[in-house]
Amino acid sequence: MLPDLAPANPGLPDSAGHPAAPALTLAWRDGLVRLVLGWLVLGLLAARQWAAMADQWWNSSTYTHVLVVPAILAWLVSQRLPELARLAPRAWPAGLVLVAMAATVWLAGSLAGVALVEQLGAVLLLIAAVPALLGPRVAMALLFPLAYALFLVPAGDELVPLLQTITAKITVWLVHLSGVSARIDGVFIDTPAGLFRVAEACSGVKFLIAMVALAVLAAHVCFVSARRRLGFLAFAIAMPVLANGVRAWGTVYLAQRWGAEWAGGFDHIVYGWFFFAAVLAGTLALWWRWFDRPADAPLVDVEALLSAPWLARLEQAAPHPRATLLALAGIALAVAGWAHSAAALEAPLPERLAVPAVRGWRVLPDAPTEWWEPRAAGAGRRLLVRYGDSAGHRVDVFYAIYAAQGPGRKASGQGEGAVRIEQGWNWFGPAPGGAGFAADRLHSDHGLLRLAETSYRSGELVTGSAARLRLANFADRLLLRPRPTALLILSAEAVPGAPEPAASLAAFRQAMGPATGWMDATAKGG
């Protein structure tokens, strides 16, 4: 790396009398070239994740606010340019440890088939490259922008069921407070004007995520006091949740006076980014008087960075710019090779699936009252069969087996399994399940109730926990061990005059015996 030919300086005034931009030193030119090359290598490693994130930013209304995050990051860096000009970037080989840790996160997400972890790893790789290629002092000067880059990860959909429940409880509490009788069951609210459901789109998750991103930015820019920052963040997180509950209550309340159709139309007009803008403006207006950062205050204490002894100790190792960049590329190639080998794993599957006999039960030719078929995208083999016994129990059994888990074929992925919204089936709430099963109540658009119990299998593991399945899949891919993954769903509908769904499922599980025995018997068809 060439040495600096001149010290960094704020530049001479231009013809208008304004300070010119700081001159770009050779150290900064070398450092920026290293950073661009490093980001290019890491970007190619995680190209699939960046493409998936960009698709979500552009096409998912939950994450459209992320489109402005790159502009915010550029603005945050521009605010620090005078301070950055006083620092000398240098390669920091010890920073490769951070790159390796970020690569491990990316690899773990890839091996486990968890898109969120993969995407987090992709962003962390670019963040970790900054201290490795520009040094710890520059990284500390850019600490907040680097941390804020985490908002590039499209995360938050996992909160939808929780926010649906919270919104429903706030709504029914306000409905009772306003003198209207109502009964809540999961995310459904039954009122004299009709049955209302807090749908996924009405959970308020998109506004909460966007509010958190903007609130973190405002807390950094507008406050100096840590206590005020925390108070503002807590308020900003609570506000969209409470406001969404009030909005949902308003829809239900107006429906009692003007009808559900009129209230729904009014809600669609109000519920949008206008609603979010009003909540955001109200939050900022309430906290305006407590903003304590002077407008001209620098965002970085560069004198503290230049004099910090611990940073000096970190930089004691002699810099090796090219070796550091090559080592970074080596890390990327190593994890890419491991991920590629794991992705190529395929377990053998039976030629076809048999329909196992169950003592006391027979296979029925009739169809359910409302068609129901779970989703199992990417499964190599599928089976859907209806069993019945002499006591009137009816159970639909769905079985799918996968040669491997990965993009487009995840037994526990979002949108997979028993809940089929496109078929008119909605999640109603959790329910008690049998051993090794997780149970959910489903509600059709026509008012039919269905109970579904889901179990996963990988090797000897049989569980109703999606998290445990992902850990098992991760271990298999980490050890490059091909194993099939199976999905088993038992379901019964609530039909007048028939046994309760829970009783039907319990009777079938008792007659079926261990779920592994039934699963193994299906493979005898091939």
The tens-digit pLDDT sequence of the chain (526 residues) is: 333 333 344 444 444 444 444 557 888 999 999 999 999 999 999 999 999 999 999 998 889 999 999 999 999 999 999 999 999 899 999 999 999 999 999 999 998 888 899 999 999 999 999 999 999 999 999 999 999 999 999 998 888 888 988 988 998 898 888 888 888 877 778 878 777 777 777 788 888 999 999 999 999 999 999 999 999 999 999 999 998 888 888 788 777 776 666 555 555 556 666 777 888 889 999 999 899 888 777 888 888 888 888 888 887 766 688 999 999 999 999 999 999 999 898 999 998 999 999 999 999 998 888 999 999 999 999 999 999 999 999 999 999 999 998 888 889 887 899 988 888 888 887 898 888 999 999 989 888 999 999 999 998 899 999 989 989 999 999 999 999 999 999 999 998 888 999 999 999 999 999 999 999 999 876 4
**What are the residue ranges spanned by the domains of the chain?**
26-155+319-343, 158-290, 361-525
Residue 394: CB atoms within 10 A of its CB come to 22
In the DSSP assignment, the letter for residue 409 is B
The model's pTM is: 0.78
Handedness of CA 373, 374, 380, 381 (dihedral sign): negative
pLDDT of residue 196: 77
Taking only Cα atoms into account, the Rg of the chain, rounded to an integer number of angstroms, comes to: 28
Burial tier of 2 (Cβ tally within 10 Å: 0-12, 13-18, 19+):
exposed
d(CA 501, CA 504): 5
Could you tell me which of 384, 424, 427, 387 has the C-alpha nearest to residue 185? 427
CA 414, 416, 419: angle at the middle one, nearest 5?
Answer: 100
d(CA 159, CA 205): 7
Q: Are 83 and 298 in contact (CB under 8 A)?
A: yes
Could you tell me which of 189, 159, 207, 206 has the C-alpha nearest to residue 263? 189
Burial tier of 254 (Cβ tally within 10 Å: 0-12, 13-18, 19+):
middle
Beta bridge partners, 450, equal 442, 493
Q: What does each C-alpha distance from 391 to 11, 386, 415 come to in angstroms?
A: 89, 15, 34
Cα 247 → chain centroid: 25
pLDDT of residue 1: 35
Strands 394-402, 438-444: pairing is unpaired
pLDDT of residue 189: 81
Q: Are 181 and 154 in contact (CB under 8 A)?
A: no
